[in-house]
Amino acid sequence: MYQIRHTAAKGLGVFATRNIPRGSRILSEKPVFLVKSEKDVYNAFRSLHEQDRNELMQLSVSSQRRSNLLGWAEGLWHASRQALSGGLVVARGDSQTKTRLPDLYSITEYPAVLNVFRNNNFDIGNGTQAIFKDICRLNHACIPNAQGNFNSNLDRFTIHALRPISEDEEITLSYLAEHGASRDARQHRLKSNYGFPCDCPACDSTTERGKLDEEARQKMQSRLHSYAQSVSEHDCPDQAAELEIMNQMIEMREEQGLAGRELATMCFSAAELAAKIGRRDVALKLANKGLRLDEDAVGTDNPIFEESQARVRAMAIV
C-alpha cells in the first residue's frame, strides 16, 4: 500500500502505491524501542541488536537541533555518569583497583543517537516516546492526510488515512498536537521543536490555498477572542452562543480538510454541550460525526474508539 522514497526537498517520505480509501489502516508497526525519558535513550539504543542499531542510525537527523559543541558536552556528561555508576576509580597504584575511564566512543556516539532520537521520536501517550523504522519516514503536513495513534490492543502504532489518498500521493502526518494555530505559530513550533521550516502547502503563502487557509484561521481566532472577551464581561456564559462557536470551529476545520481525533474530540465536547441545553438533534449529529472521525483515525479495534462510544452513550441521546 505504501513505499518509502525520496521527496523533492524533505529527504525520504512515504508514498501511496495505490488509491487508499478514507479510514484505511496504511501501516501498523511495533516500536524499535520505547522510553519514558531522554536519559534512557542511549541505554535503550545500546541494548538493541547490531543490525537494529545500524538501521536506526540511518534515520534522518537535524543539523539545526544542537551545535556540535553542545552534543559533545552531553556525550561527555553521559560517559562520565556511566563511568561513575560503574565505579570509576582513577589508578592509585593499587593493583586491586579497577580503573574505568569514560568511553570515548560513547562520547561521540551519544549525541549522534540523541540527534536521531530527537528528530524521529513519536509521543505515543502516557509519557512514552517511541522510535519506528517505517513510521519515522512520514513527513509532516499542517493539513495531513493521515494520522498515527497507538493501539494498546495490538501493541502497535497505526497510521490511518483521514481522507481518500491517491496513488503516488505522499502520506503525511501532523507532528503538532494543535492543528488550528496560525502559520507563524506553527512554523515557530516546528522550527524550535523539530528543527525544520515547514514547506507544506498550507504554509505556502504564495498560493491561493495557503492564503485562504491562513485567512480562515485568523478569522476563527478573532471570533474566539471576541467570544472570550464577552464571557469575561458576563457572569453567566451563554451556552447557546458557545455551542454556535464550537460548531463554527468544527465546520471551519472540515472545510480546511482537517479530520482526525482532535476534531472528533471537539465534536464530542460540542455534543455534550448540545445535550445539556436540550438540543438532542444537534447532539446526535455531532456525536455521530465524532464517532465516524474516530473510527477513521483509529479503527474499531482500538480501545480509544470504545472509550468514545462510551462517552456518547453517557450523553443519553440515543
Ligand X SMILES: C[S@@+](CC[C@H](N)C(=O)[O-])C[C@H]1O[C@@H](n2cnc3c(N)ncnc32)[C@H](O)[C@@H]1O
Q: Decide if residue 195 touches ligand X (CB under 6 A).
A: yes
Alpha carbons 121 and 130: distance in angstroms, whole number: 5
Q: Using CB under 6 A, which of 29, 103, 199, 214 touches ligand X?
A: 199
**Site for ligand X (CB under 6 A): how many residues?**
20
Place of cell 490555498: 209
Nearer to ligand X, 140 or 160 (CB): 140
List residues bridging with 296 in a β-sheet: none
Q: Decide if residue 243 touches ligand X (CB under 6 A).
A: no
Nearer to ligand X, 139 or 247 (CB): 139
HSE at residue 123, side-chain half, CA atoms within 13 A, is 8
If DSSP codes are grouped into helix, strand and coil, which group holds residue 50?
A: helix
Secondary structure letter of residue 217 according to DSSP: H
Q: Decide if residue 118 touches ligand X (CB under 6 A).
A: no
Instruction: Write the binding mask 119 to 158 for ligand X: x where contact by CB under 6 A, - elsewhere.
Output: xx---------------xx-xxx-----------------
Closest Cα to residue 262, out of 226, 222, 224, 290?
290
Closest Cα to residue 112, out of 189, 40, 37, 56?
56
**Amino acid at the residue 35:** V
β-strand pairing of 170-173 with 139-140: parallel
Instruction: Write the binding mask 266 to 295 for ligand X: x where contact by CB under 6 A, - elsewhere.
Output: ------------------------------
| Distance in Å, CB of 316 to ligand X, minimum | 43
Sequence-distant (6+) residues with CB within 8 A of 46 are 53
What are φ and ψ of residue 77, in 5° steps? -60, -45
The span of 110-118, 148-156, 188-196, 288-296 binding ligand X (CB under 6 A) equals 188-196
Nearer to ligand X, 66 or 137 (CB): 137
β-strand pairing of 170-173 with 12-16: antiparallel
Instruction: Write the binding mask 61 to 90 for ligand X: x where contact by CB under 6 A, - elsewhere.
Output: -x----------------------------
β-strand pairing of 139-140 with 122-123: unpaired
Nearer to ligand X, 203 or 315 (CB): 203
Q: Using CB under 6 A, which of 11, 21, 87, 237 touches ligand X?
A: 11
Q: What angle do CA 225, 228, 265 make, to 5 degrees?
A: 90
Place of cell 502505491: 17
The span of 19-27, 58-66, 68-76, 280-288 binding ligand X (CB under 6 A) equals 58-66
Residue 176 cell numbers, joined = 503538532
Nearer to ligand X, 133 or 163 (CB): 133
Q: Decide if residue 201 touches ligand X (CB under 6 A).
A: no
How many CB atoms sit inside 10 A of residue 54's CB?
10
Q: Decide if residue 106 touches ligand X (CB under 6 A).
A: no
Decide: residue 272, CB within 10 A, 0-12 exposed, 13-18 middle, 19+ buried. Answer: middle
Q: Using CB under 6 A, which of 60, 82, 108, 309 touches ligand X?
A: 60
Nearer to ligand X, 124 or 317 (CB): 124
Nearer to ligand X, 168 or 301 (CB): 168
| Distance in Å, CB of 175 to ligand X, minimum | 7
If DSSP codes are grouped into helix, strand and coil, which group holds residue 255?
A: helix
Question: Footprint of ligand X on this chain (CB under 6 A)?
Answer: 10-13, 59-60, 62, 119-120, 136-137, 139-141, 194-196, 198-200
